[in-house]
């Protein structure tokens, strides 16, 4: 299987110009990828068979930026997500660019399924949830890097963090997200910086557990106020309980992404270490909290099951 996959990548690299719909070399390219791995011969979402020789090619579709194969019914649902989440093409009825072919050769149904399952997203997850999730965005970032000639591939941690930032800002330009992942790679390359950040996150995690008096796994406004008074004092910031509670009304609304009325650990970490003016404005934290990206990455690992 690995040998066949390498063969597919070689074929994609050879396709240096756009291929018109139904071109013999395009048909041969996809047939090679389907033959290379049985998982590619079925729709990744419902299991319907994919066959290059199917009449007129209408049953053969793919999500280019996810590098996976689809049936026509699931393609319709993918198109409803928007091209930033799933850009669909017919294997035979559409023309293909070389970089799109490289995306399919670098991806495949099995690679995407294994990746998402490792991130806690099973194959049975509904399409609308699966392809709009953080791990799915991260996979698209990594796949874009693999499909671009000479492009360095960022680490999983930085791709996940860049994906989370993209979801938070509702900005899904994958080129910008890939650039951001490379920037994060540089920021998190210092072992000393990572160690300091992780030590701070461990301290916050312990304080979080102590503040969670009812053991719910999240903090309400009262519990959060107590925790943050201590946290801010540690960073040389003084805020009265009354003032802090007023500020937290907006912070709870901004940070409670799952709308359960409490802040989970990672939601709190985003408010404390988040990137950008909006996050700084939420809790009005001091500017000396450096390298929020590193702390966020450490917090994400601490919050992982």
**Out of 6-10, 156-160, 216-220, which region has the weakest mean confidence (pLDDT)?**
6-10
The C-alpha atoms of residue 124 and residue 130 are separated, in whole angstroms, by 9
Q: Which CATH number is associated with domain 191-303?
A: 1.10.238
pLDDT digits (tens, 9 = 90+) for 18-39: 667 667 888 889 989 989 999 9
Residue 298 CB partners (closer than 8 Å, separation 6+): 194, 197, 198, 200, 201
Domain boundaries, given as residue ranges, for the chain: 2-132, 191-303
Radius of gyration of the chain measured on its C-alpha atoms:
23
pLDDT higher for 56 or 143? 143
Query: Which stretches of 170-240 are DSSP H helices?
Result: 174-187, 191-211, 221-234
- Neighbouring CB atoms inside 10 A of 258's CB total 10
Per the DSSP assignment, residues forming a β-bridge with 118 are: none
pLDDT digits (tens, 9 = 90+) for 161-204: 788 778 877 777 899 899 888 887 776 666 665 666 667 777 77
Same fold across 2-132 and 191-303: no
Tell me the fold of 2-132: Annexin V; domain 1 (1.10.220)
Residue 145 CB partners (closer than 8 Å, separation 6+): 151, 152, 153, 154, 178, 181
Whether the full predicted model's pTM is greater than 0.85, yes or no, is no
In the chain, pLDDT over 90 holds for what percent of residues?
A: 30
The C-alpha atoms of residue 201 and residue 209 are separated, in whole angstroms, by 12
pLDDT of residue 191: 60
Across the beta sheet with 88-90, what order do the strands follow? 68-70, 61-63, 88-90
């Amino acid at each position: 299987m690995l040998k066949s996959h390498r063969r597919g990548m070689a074929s994609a690299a050879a396709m240096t110009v756009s291929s018109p719909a139904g071109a013999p070399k395009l048909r041969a390219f996809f047939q090679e990828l389907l033959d290379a791995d049985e998982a590619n011969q079925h729709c990744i979402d419902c299991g319907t068979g994919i066959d290059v020789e199917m009449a007129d090619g209408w049953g053969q579709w793919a999500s280019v930026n996810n590098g996976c194969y689809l049936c026509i019914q699931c393609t319709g649902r993918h198109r409803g997500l928007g091209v930033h989440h799933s850009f669909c093409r017919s294997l035979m009825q559409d023309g293909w660019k070389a970089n799109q072919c490289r995306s399919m050769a670098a991806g495949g149904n099995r690679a995407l399924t294994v990746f998402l399952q490792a991130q806690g997203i099973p194959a049975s997850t509904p399409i609308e949830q699966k392809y709009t999730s953080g791990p799915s965005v991260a996979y698209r970032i990594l796949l874009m890097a693999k499909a671009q000639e000479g492009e360095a591939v960022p680490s999983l941690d930085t791709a996940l963090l860049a994906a989370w930032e993209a979801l938070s800002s509702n900005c899904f330009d994958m080129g910008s997200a890939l650039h951001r992942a490379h920037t994060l790679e540089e920021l998190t390359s210092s072992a000393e910086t990572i160690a300091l950040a992780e030590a701070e996150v461990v301290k916050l995690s312990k304080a979080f557990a102590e503040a969670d008096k009812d053991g719910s796994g999240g903090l309400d406004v009262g519990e959060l106020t107590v925790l943050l008074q201590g946290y801010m004092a540690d960073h040389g910031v003084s805020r009265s309980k009354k003032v802090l509670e007023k500020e937290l009304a907006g912070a709870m609304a901004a940070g409670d992404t799952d709308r359960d009325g409490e802040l989970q650990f990672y939601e709190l970490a985003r408010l404390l270490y988040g990137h950008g003016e909006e996050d700084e404005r939420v809790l009005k934290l001091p500017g000396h909290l450096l390298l929020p990206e590193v702390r966020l990455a450490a917090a994400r690992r601490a919050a992982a099951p």
